[in-house]
Amino acid sequence: MKYSLPMRLLHWAMAAIILCMVSVGRTMVSLDDHVPAKFTLLYPWHKSLGMLVLLLVFVRLAIRARSSVLPLPTMLAPWETAAARAAKVALYALMIIVPCMGYAMSSSYTKSDGVFFFGTMLPELLPKNDARFEVFRLLHRVLAYTLLTLSFIHAIGALKHRFLDRDKRNDVLSRMI
């Protein structure tokens, strides 16, 4: 059995977007402020992709609520089942919280020119406050790396079940490709 095509497409699209966003984010913060592309290209793309992830995670949750979700293989060890369930909840939570922290960061920074979303400026809902910005920036960074790490563990787990488990009924990757 496989997940529905919309669920599979959203899964892989979001994985690609998140990897791209992390790459853009790391690049933009490593550049000197005098590099024009940092603020004219990289920041707007990073913000747009972040808001896209936030939008897509809600689309994904709506599709998931209307679709049949495949049960985990019964041959998994109990700790693997518990870890998979916890990781799923954490991944969804982080895909919501990380973009929200980025939005809050951009919205609250006194020198920010707003939250750009593919040609549209989103309303800034938070008051400008650089002290809050610092908190949001720390949370955004730590939680983004947590999301990246958890995504990596998620991928390693899927590959482990596909290639190393003796019982091929544990192959969860085949459901998503």
Q: Does the pTM of the predicted model rise above 0.85?
A: yes
Q: Is the pLDDT of residue 45 over 90?
A: yes
Q: What's the average model confidence in pLDDT over 144-159?
A: 97
Looking at residue 126, what DSSP letter applies? S
- Which domains are assigned to the chain? 5-176 (1.20.950)
Neighbouring-strand partners of residue 120: 117
Q: Name the band, by pLDDT with cuts 50, 70 and 90, for residue 113.
A: confident
Burial of 112 (0-12, 13-18, 19+ CB in 10 A): middle
Residue 75: half-sphere exposure toward Cβ, Cα within 13 Å: 9
Mean pLDDT of the chain: 95
Q: Name the band, by pLDDT with cuts 50, 70 and 90, for residue 114.
A: confident
Question: Tens digits of per-residue pLDDT, 47-104?
Answer: 999 999 999 999 999 999 998 889 999 999 999 999 999 999 999 999 999 999 999 9
Angle between helices 130-163 and 78-108 (to 10 degrees): 150
Question: Tens digits of per-residue pLDDT, 157-169?
Answer: 999 999 999 999 8
